[in-house]
Structure 1
Amino acid sequence: MEDAVSSFWGPVTSTTEWCEKNYVYSSYIAEFYNTVSNIPCILLALIGLINALRQRFEKRFSVLHLSNMILAFGSMLFHATLQHVQQQSDETPMVWEMLLYIYILYSPDWHYRSTMPTFLFLYGAFFAIVHSQIRFGIGFKVHYVILCLLCIPRMYKYYIYTQDVSAKWLAKLYVATLFLSSLCWLSDRIFCKEISRWTLNPQGHAMWHIFMGFNSYFANTFLMFCRAQQLGWSPKVVHFVGVLPYVKINKPKTQ
């Protein structure tokens, strides 16, 4: 793509670009919409973090919300610069986040409690080192999809064992936003040449960021509900200003 204005960051060194013209609005931001579209994810993760801390959920959920924020900030850096080093600040946290989801999903039934976090930590560290030295293309995408697929059976198990209607709606919203975000991502990649000829670019990758921000929030909230139920904290789904769902718990006094 031809740059509309001069580039502050120099030539593009990332292994991929998206269907948005570079440096249209500022010489400091390569892909404007793909950069600012991460803001909703940061705000939603912040709301989730405040709720987790305020109600004293397990630390794993605070770390999960923080990982969503770190990923969004890394994505902003990547799309603002389109530099390979910043690409790692986007892709490596994506893998770390999925490893954290795997831990939260599977750890309640894991009998050897120290082995899972140790293995996942070493796996994440190994990936970060290798990824810093090797430029992955399609291999990264395949690897990331495999990690996502490992989470689906467990999410489905939680769904079928959850009787609360509001909690089930969280799971349905998770699936719906995942479908919409994937559709936007694929459309942006597959039909970029056609979209580039349109008067108005729908910014499919930016929409992917927005939908995935909500997707992460719904997933986190659903998992917080399920975990609170496992611990006997009498969770219920309530809504902030009647719109945004979150989990409210009632811990026994002994806890």
Structure 2
Amino acid sequence: MPTHGQFVTMEHWPHFPFIPYPPSKAGYWSPVTSTLNWCEEDYYATPYSAEVINSFTNLLFLWLGIKGVLNTRKHGHDSVFQVAFYGYLLVGLGSFLFHSTLKYPMQLVDELSMIYTTCLMCYASFSYMRPLGFRAFLAIFLAGLAVFITLYYHYLQDPVFHQNAYALLTTIVVIRSMYTMEVALRPKWRKSREEDRLAREKQGLPVPSKERQEFENTRDLKTLKTMWFMVAYGLSMFLGGFGIWNLDNHFCSTLRQWRQTIGLPWGILLEGHGWWHLMTGIGAYLYLVWGIWLRHVLNKEQDNYLLVWSHFWNFPEIVRTSSITKSNGSSKKNH
């Protein structure tokens, strides 16, 4: 039998050396006080992290959260999205601390920050261009809802309640944003040209020419096509991660046996909850970028901002067109 840390080769996998999994043991943060303990073995890699893969996959949240905050500041996006990216950062940090310690207070930081950030995006979606009274009512209602979920969840200590509340809030926000996107960009859902012309004339606004209207329709349909791809990609990542997470929950004993058989580092690929972190981190980031872009469309500023997304495996950003012009100008000067 191989000793701990010794590389060996399995008979049925002769070309793949591996390290046997060390046994689970008590760690620095023992005992476990959280109401959840995931499928990853506890403290097998280090005594200072209960679930090392589930912990460190949250670094994606921290990186993308910082990237989002810096982008929001640099390009002057609405401040609500800067706050949302700070919430995204808090989700990643809370999840890192929760999986590192498996302590109940850290579990609350992880799970409740997800609720609070979603409530914030719900406010951003439903309050836009609404009267002050409605915005105040919505803010009070969502704050009260967040307090209720916090207290009731602490009373129940039932993770299913949290998961259902989060899923419901997320579904509401995404569907509302889809509806807003379609109404704002799809030409057939907007007012007819004649109605729009009359409305602009009454308000003393300039009336676009036929050529300008055709340009805007073509531009908006192109934007809508890209947005729908972003939505489909983000939802696929989110739902795919959710599916893998559920497989992790239902077949945990089998997955643990497989991990013990194939050893390290290959067993890392079978950490389903870690994949959930990576995939939902990407999906949530895409949603926030989509929300920024949609807000600029609603503000009639889509000609002043541009989506920079060279490949679907990269992480997109919304940037001012003026910054791209300056960058190209300086590049030409350098050459």
Q: TM-score, normalised by structure 1?
A: 0.90
The match for 2:57 is 37
The match for 1:244 is 315
The match for 1:144 is 166
- How far apart are residue 16 of structure 1 and its match? 1.1
8 Å contact kept, 1:181–1:208: yes
Q: Quick check: which has more Rg, 1 or 2?
A: 2
> Which segment is superposed worse, 147-156 or 184-193?
147-156
8 Å contact kept, 1:34–1:79: yes
Counterparts of 1:38-77 in structure 2, within 5 Å, are: 38-77=58-97
8 Å contact kept, 1:228–1:249: no
Counterparts of 1:49-198 in structure 2, within 5 Å, are: 49-108=69-128, 110-111=130-131, 112-161=134-183, 162=185, 163=221, 164=223, 165-198=225-258
- How far apart are residue 134 of structure 1 and its match? 4.5
Please give the alpha-carbon distance, in whole angstroms, between the structure 1 residues aligned to 2:106 and 2:87.
16
- How far apart are residue 160 of structure 1 and its match? 3.1
- How far apart are residue 86 of structure 1 and its match? 1.1
- How far apart are residue 179 of structure 1 and its match? 2.0
8 Å contact kept, 1:237–1:246: yes
- How far apart are residue 216 of structure 1 and its match? 1.1
8 Å contact kept, 1:236–1:249: yes
8 Å contact kept, 1:166–1:237: no
Please give the alpha-carbon distance, in whole angstroms, between the structure 1 residues aligned to 2:164 and 2:239.
18
8 Å contact kept, 2:81–2:292: yes
Stretches of structure 2 that go unaligned for 5 or more consecutive residues are: 1-21, 186-220, 323-335
- How far apart are residue 169 of structure 1 and its match? 2.3
The match for 2:192 is none
178, 185, 205: which one aligns with 2:273: 205
Cα-Cα RMSD: 2.2
- How far apart are residue 236 of structure 1 and its match? 2.2
The match for 1:218 is 286
- Listed one character per residue, the Cα deviations across residues 101-121 of structure 1 (whole Å, up to 9, x for unaligned) are 211222126441211112212
14, 34, 39: which one aligns with 1:19: 39
Structure 1 counterpart of 2:238, one-letter code: L
- Is the partner of 1:27 in helix, strand or coil? coil
The match for 1:10 is 30
- Listed one character per residue, the Cα deviations across residues 11-36 of structure 1 (whole Å, up to 9, x for unaligned) are 11111111100001111100000000
Higher RCO structure, 1 or 2 (CA under 8 Å, sep 6+): 1
- How far apart are residue 192 of structure 1 and its match? 0.9
Please give the alpha-carbon distance, in whole angstroms, between the structure 1 residues aligned to 2:231 and 2:299.
20
CA pair 21-61 structure 1, distance change in 2 beyond 3 A = same
Identity of aligned residues (%): 22
> Which segment is superposed worse, 155-164 or 30-39?
155-164
- How far apart are residue 75 of structure 1 and its match? 0.4
Please give the alpha-carbon distance, in whole angstroms, between the structure 1 residues aligned to 2:105 and 2:34.
8
CA pair 125-184 structure 1, distance change in 2 beyond 3 A = same
Q: TM-score, normalised by structure 2?
A: 0.69
- Is the partner of 2:309 in helix, strand or coil? strand
Please give the alpha-carbon distance, in whole angstroms, between the structure 1 residues aligned to 2:154 and 2:239.
31
Please give the alpha-carbon distance, in whole angstroms, between the structure 2 residues aligned to 1:181 and 1:59.
29
